[in-house]
Amino acid sequence: MRNSEFDPISEEIFKSRLRRARAIVVLAFAVLIIQLWLLQIVMGPGFRRQSENNRMQLRDIPTFRGVIKDRNGEMLAGNRPSFDIYVVPSEVDDNLMLADRLGELIGMSPAVITEKIEAAYRRSPFKPVSIKKDISRDELAVIETHRFSLPGLKVEARPIRHYLFGSLGAHIIGYLGEINDKEIKSGQYPHNKAGDMIGKAGVESTWQEVLTGISGAESLEVDAAGRTIRVLSRRPPLSGENLWLTIDRDLQSLSEEILSEKKGAIVAMEPSTGRILAMASSPSFDPNLFVEGIAHGTWEQIVRSEGFPLQNRVLSGQYPPASVFKIVVALAALDKGLIDQKDEVLCPGIYRLGDYQFRCWKKHGHGVVNLHRALVESCDVYFYVLGRRMGVDTIASYARRMGLGELTGVGIGNEKPGLIPTTGWKLKRMGVPWQAGETISASIGQGYVLATPLQVARLISAVFNGGILYRPQLALFIENGRGEKTRLFPPEPERELGIKPEAIALVKKSLIGVVNEPRGTGSKALLKDALVAGKTGTAQVVRLEKDRDEERDGQEDIPLEFRDHAWFAGVAPAEDPKIAVAIIVENGGHGSKAAAPLAGALFKSFLKARE
């Protein structure tokens, strides 16, 4: 054993080696302690946050958008579940196999699926990536049966907007779209965040704040596999409130049916309140197309398609009111005391002003007419004379009193004010003085005069409701989830017309005559059971070379886009009106033929339903 013992030099070296070893150990542990200190003390708060991020997942609890109902409680816009397919990349065994199978089941290219999963895997592998939204029921059934062979796949249900009757009331209801950056920054959508669908048009937009629910949130503790361990905190979602509209679904449906295959607009209103019963604009669209965020191509296609279906012609279509405007001129003249019912004018079918000739629609004239006959038979010459006597500015001031040339404030869509020209307007706008001939055109609602169907409906309502101009309304009341009314919308009378009651009474009588008397232009709106009153109009689209002639059925020879627009504005029953309508059929020809019968049908159906 001697050879194992230390000789002195070896022992000395060994001792010095031990000292070095001790120093190395101290150094090594110092490095470890420093690293621990860096990790836990210096970078500790950051790592604590990361561990919390690992642990916690914030999840939205979807909310339900308030539903939209008609005045009778019939649901127009509700919610339905959308089944969305997600894939959790970290749980996928075999990406290619999953993409192949899934692609086959839901009709998607496997390459697209693979790419989505791979991109998501690099980003955040535990977070589900959306593969396809709103799969069909059939696809759902197939997926559910193959669930076991598709690891990593998740199907989630989420409420989305559903318009029960497709395009019914599309222009009133509007549509949804994904909130954009500008809207988020505007602060007008405090309850919404990126990715949310918000109302972009119609009452969906106007009442966005009421309809939108406030989504809830859940803070979940999850494990590394993304499984939920427990709920840490939860804020329940708040459903949106329901909106009851003033619309009558049946009347709305009929209005749209009547307008199908045509271009035009119908608006029906409760004359005594200003509440809108129906508002149809044709062509229309299906707002369900927008529910999931519309593809740019589809959007372009809709916007560009023939007839501008997104435009709500009721309030943004500006048309010459034509003979309907005679109501305004007649009331103005009577109120001013310029005429009485006995004053007569000879209508030879033509009116001369200097070198110009202005024709009456009836080629050979109406003969001698008083105001009543002139309204009933819609004599142009009578109103040429009247207009000349009053001047355009007087007509304009009355037209404005009756709500023309201004926004009605209905609160949806891109409402247009129309146009009521004055001499001052012309000078300012065109830089040239008003011409006498222009007064002639204006007095039969042509020339520069423009009005929207909604303005006309409001006007005719005011004539028959005792002279009160109401703001048109679409919202009846708002109801919370428990069915309690939280907000009512009483009628909003804006102003009185301020026209002598006798004048109004005379005009009313004449408007009854339009429909009910022989040779009245509105006779096609005549009903057996109710007294209908109204006024037809035929708006010239282009100044035609030939004379306009009621007897001449020449409109069929004219290319469609140059044919006249047909107007009818009226009420029923005249003695206690329940409904007022304004109808325009673009390029429909004469109001008496193309518009009056439509009004008759609407009145008939509406009044019958009320019995």
Partner 1 sequence: MFDRRLLQNFDWILLLLLVILAAISVANLYSATYPTRSTGGAAILQRQIYWFVLGFAVFLLMTTFNYKSLERLAYPAYIVSILLLLAVLIVGKLTSGSRRWLSLGFMAFQPSELAKIAMVIVLAKFLAARDEFMEYHMRDLLKPISLMMIPAVLILKEPDLGTALLVVFVSVSMILFEKIHWKTFVALGVTCLGSLPVLWLGLKDYQKDRLLTFLDPDRDPLGAGYHIKQSKIAIGSGQLWGKGYLEGTQTKLHFLPEQHTDFAFSVFSEEWGFAGSFLLLALYFLLIIWGLDIARNSKDKFGSMLSVGIVATIFWQVIINLGMVMGLLPVVGIPLLLFSYGGSSLVTTMAMLGLLMNISIRRFIFQERGGIGQ
Residues that are catalytic: 323
| CB contact at 8 A, 200 and 176 | yes
| CB contact at 8 A, 280 and 265 | yes
For partner 1, the closer CB: 40 or 72: 40
- Give the start-end residues of each E strand in 88-152: 129-132
Tell me which residue of 196, 205, 213 sits closest to 481, measured CA to CA. 213
For partner 1, the closer CB: 49 or 485: 49
281 CB-near residues (< 8 Å, 6+ apart): 171, 259, 264, 265, 311, 312, 313, 314, 317
| CB contact at 8 A, 511 and 375 | yes
Shortest Å, Cβ 85 to partner 1:
23
For partner 1, the closer CB: 126 or 299: 126
Task: Name the token pair of 398.
Answer: 């009355």
434 CB-near residues (< 8 Å, 6+ apart): 392, 421, 422, 423, 426, 427
For partner 1, the closer CB: 123 or 352: 123
For partner 1, the closer CB: 22 or 487: 22
Shortest Å, Cβ 150 to partner 1:
21
Q: Which residues contribute to the site for partner 1 (CB under 8 A)? A: 1, 3-7, 9-10, 13-15, 17-18, 21-22, 25, 28-29, 31-33, 35-37, 39-41, 43-48, 50-52, 54-55, 90, 121, 125, 221-225, 229
Shortest Å, Cβ 144 to partner 1:
28
> SS3 for 54-99, per residue?
HHEEEEEECCCCCCEECCCCCEEEEEEEEEEEEECHHHCCCHHHHH
Shortest Å, Cβ 134 to partner 1:
31
The angle that helices 110-123 and 95-106 make with each other, rounded to 10 degrees, is 130
For partner 1, the closer CB: 13 or 427: 13
For partner 1, the closer CB: 224 or 432: 224
Beta-ladder partners of 581 = 268, 570
Q: What is the CA radius of gyration of the chain?
A: 37
| Residue 572 host element (H or E) | strand 565-572
The angle that helices 392-401 and 380-390 make with each other, rounded to 10 degrees, is 100
Quote the CA–CA distance of 278 and 330 in Å, as a whole number.
28
Quote the CA–CA distance of 14 and 92 in Å, as a whole number.
59
- Furthest C-alpha separation in the chain: 154
Shortest Å, Cβ 32 to partner 1:
5
| CB contact at 8 A, 434 and 392 | yes
Quote the CA–CA distance of 570 and 460 in Å, as a whole number.
6
For partner 1, the closer CB: 43 or 427: 43
Quote the CA–CA distance of 546 and 498 in Å, as a whole number.
40
Tell me which residue of 355, 208, 172 sits closest to 280, measured CA to CA. 172
For partner 1, the closer CB: 227 or 482: 227
Shortest Å, Cβ 17 to partner 1:
5
For partner 1, the closer CB: 53 or 357: 53
Tell me which residue of 429, 354, 363, 362 sits closest to 388, measured CA to CA. 354
Shortest Å, Cβ 11 to partner 1:
8
Tell me which residue of 172, 150, 163 sits closest to 281, measured CA to CA. 172
Quote the CA–CA distance of 535 and 361 in Å, as a whole number.
15
Terminal alpha carbon distance of the chain: 126
Collapsing DSSP to helix, strand or coil, 443 comes out as helix
Shortest Å, Cβ 228 to partner 1:
11
Shortest Å, Cβ 75 to partner 1:
45
For partner 1, the closer CB: 27 or 436: 27
Shortest Å, Cβ 131 to partner 1:
20
412 CB-near residues (< 8 Å, 6+ apart): 172, 174, 201, 202, 203, 205, 206, 312, 315, 474
Quote the CA–CA distance of 329 and 388 in Å, as a whole number.
11
Q: Which residue in the block uniquely carries the two structure tokens 């037809």?
A: 536
Shortest Å, Cβ 9 to partner 1:
4
Quote the CA–CA distance of 536 and 321 in Å, as a whole number.
10
Quote the CA–CA distance of 65 and 180 in Å, as a whole number.
18
The angle that helices 453-464 and 326-336 make with each other, rounded to 10 degrees, is 40
For partner 1, the closer CB: 3 or 357: 3
Shortest Å, Cβ 57 to partner 1:
11
Quote the CA–CA distance of 379 and 326 in Å, as a whole number.
9
Q: Which residue in the block uniquely carries the two structure tokens 């001698």?
A: 368
